[in-house]
């Protein structure tokens, strides 16, 4: 059985850098990606709203400082 890849090496946010630096094997990374299950049907929509700068300033004024 192949050795499991360190999760920090395959994190989407760091994998590109590790691939570029030669720390992560491109073929091994591709095999890992292909082995992952497709769980798109489990995704749920997320709604967000952007706060106005005035709202942010108001909430900062209400927060007691230590």
Q: Which domain does 33 fall in, by range?
A: 7-37
- Report how many domains make up the chain: 1
Tens digit of each residue's pLDDT (9 = 90 or more) over 50-63: 877 666 666 666 65
Rounded Cα distance, 3 and 55, in Å: 51
> Is 0.75 topped by the overall pTM?
no
The predicted pLDDT at position 62 comes to 60
Inside any domain, residue 44: no
Q: Between the CA of residue 35 and those of 7, 53, 54, what are the distances in Å? A: 15, 45, 48
Tell me whether residue 66 is in a domain: no
pLDDT at res. 64: 60
Taking only the tens place, the pLDDT of each residue in 22-41 is 999 999 999 989 999 999 99
Is residue 61 in some structural domain?
Answer: no
DSSP 63: S
Q: Is residue 11 part of a domain?
A: yes
pLDDT at 12 over 60: yes
Q: How far apart are CA 8 and CA 11, in angstroms?
A: 5
């Amino acid at each position: 059985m192949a050795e499991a890849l360190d999760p920090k090496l395959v994190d989407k946010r760091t994998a590109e850098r590790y691939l570029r630096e030669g720390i992560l094997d491109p073929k091994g990374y591709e095999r890992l990606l292909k082995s992952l299950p497709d769980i798109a049907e489990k995704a749920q929509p997320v709604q967000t709203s952007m706060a106005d700068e005035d709202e942010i300033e108001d909430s900062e004024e209400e927060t007691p400082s230590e």
